[in-house]
Amino acid sequence: MPAYNYYHGQWQFIVSPPSFFYPFYIHCRLFNSSLSRCHRVLKKQSPNGLLTVYLSRRDLVVEEGGVVRPIDGVVLTDPDLSAQHEPFKIFALVVLTFRYGREDEEVMGLKFYTEAILHYEQVYPSSSKSPRPLTALQQHLLKKLGPDAHPLTVSVSGHAPHSVGLKPARAYGGSPLGVTYDLKVFPGNRADEKPSKRSLVRLSLRCTHRSPAPFPNPPAAALSRAFVFSSGKLRLEARLDREAYRFDETLQIHVSLDNSSNRTVHRVRVTLVQYVNVCMFTNGRFKNIVGLSETEPGHPVRPGSCLSRVFHVKPTVHMRYPVALAIEGGLSSSTVKLSPSTIPALASERNPYGVTVCYEAKVKAFLGVVDRPVCLRLPFRIIEDPPVIEEEEPVPLAEEEEEKESIFPT
């Protein structure tokens, strides 16, 4: 498909490659010489072409303290839509879907998912007595699209669980497991009626929580063990270089072992463990090993000797897991990433629609068959910074010389 370029305050269209799915997405960039800014707009159209939704982004960002950054956009209606729906109304819903079972195992009407509506808005005619002020992007879109465009603002509660996907151990190709969000925009007479699939616009959203700042002191632990008929002790110390990591960073675990006992330490193993808790179920807890490193075989720590080593372990999604692996949910991507850690405020609430995820580094010193191993646990976090959203203030639009060319060429 050709690309359309308009400068001097006009639109620049960058049409994505052809897709086998309809409708398709068009990425638009709005340039304004007086603002010196670039806005990326996501567009999706209903299958019958009578309803079009423009959004600035698809991330619902919850700041520290529960403050939600809403998503701004515009809904464009076709003039023929009013003839099909009398009275003419447009509704927007944000639906949370928590799927806790496989779709291919649903039989005899049994459903392994639950839904909750977190946001409801009547876009047209507006039912709000105190409408929100328009953002600069909405002002541009309303001016360009004409009188059939209506502003849309999407938000959720600050207690909404973050998007988490569950990758089952067995091969699965159905609807994604875990917590997902969808924006549904449709025309109708009532908000509770079932919309027609041909006039429905459905967009996947992602809810992310901005993680607290890392702690200044990295996690550290130490343990001493005395043995029967032995005068000495075995002391194991471990610490991390910091408390929070990105998903593609390597952890450095500093391990120090002082063997003053008469036991022999055969090997030292460091594992990264992911703990997943499906809050809806009492027994919905399971763990996955996402990283592993250990000392070379044949190099034991004998009595009276010491060991000091730095283990470099990188979390990965390619290791075996018994039940399901918690991955980043929400938007589809070719890269599978581990789910970020749940912030403490959400973990303590135990939302029945949520999935809590936490990580720890486990250091084990294996002594043999008779003595149980010496174990240390170091909690850490995997964080992912949500997109930075700049504060937008209402600004005047730039004056344009002429608008003879079509804004949306066909």
Q: What is the pLDDT of residue 13?
A: 43
Work out the mean pLDDT of the chain and round it to a whole number: 78
pLDDT band at 236 (very low <50, low <70, confident <90, very high): very high
Q: What is the pLDDT of residue 221?
A: 93
The residue with greater pLDDT, 189 or 97, is 97
User: How far is Cα 179 from Cα 204, in angstroms, rounded to an integer?
Assistant: 11
- Paired tokens of 182: 């969808």
Task: Answer yes or no: is pLDDT of 190 > 50.
Answer: yes
- What would the mean pLDDT of 294-301 be, rounded to a whole number? 87
Task: Answer yes or no: is pLDDT of 21 > 50.
Answer: no
- What would the mean pLDDT of 141-156 be, rounded to a whole number? 87
Structural domains present in the chain = 42-209 (2.60.40.840), 220-383 (2.60.40.640)
pLDDT band at 83 (very low <50, low <70, confident <90, very high): low
pTM listed for this prediction: 0.77
Q: What is the pLDDT of residue 137?
A: 86
What are the CA-CA distances from residue 150 to residues 75, 79, 186, 351 (Å)?
Answer: 5, 13, 13, 34
Between the two ends of the chain, the Cα-to-Cα distance in Å is 12
Beta bridge partners of 201: 185
Task: Answer yes or no: is pLDDT of 174 > 70.
Answer: yes
Q: What is the pLDDT of residue 282?
A: 74
Among the residue ranges 77-86, 201-210, 245-254, 326-335, the one predicted with the least confidence is 77-86
3-state secondary structure of 202: strand
